[in-house]
Amino acid sequence: MSGRAPFNLPWMTFLSFVLVGISILISIIWASLSGRKK
């Protein structure tokens, strides 16, 4: 990846926000799946 991510951040720094987004997504998916299993 080259250039800048949103907010002029370097991509590697911006990815920290992406990781938070992924965590939220995982928690929602896990919560709905583990509920369905029962």
Interacting positions 1-20 with another protein (CB under 8 A) = 7-10, 12-13, 15-17, 19-20
Q: Token pair 């911006």 is at which residue?
A: 14
Interacting positions 18-37 with another protein (CB under 8 A) = 19-20, 22-24, 26-28, 30-31, 34-35
Backbone angles phi, psi at 20, to 5 degrees: -65, -40
Alpha helices in the chain (DSSP H): 11-37
- Residue ranges binding another protein (CB under 8 A): 7-10, 12-13, 15-17, 19-20, 22-24, 26-28, 30-31, 34-35
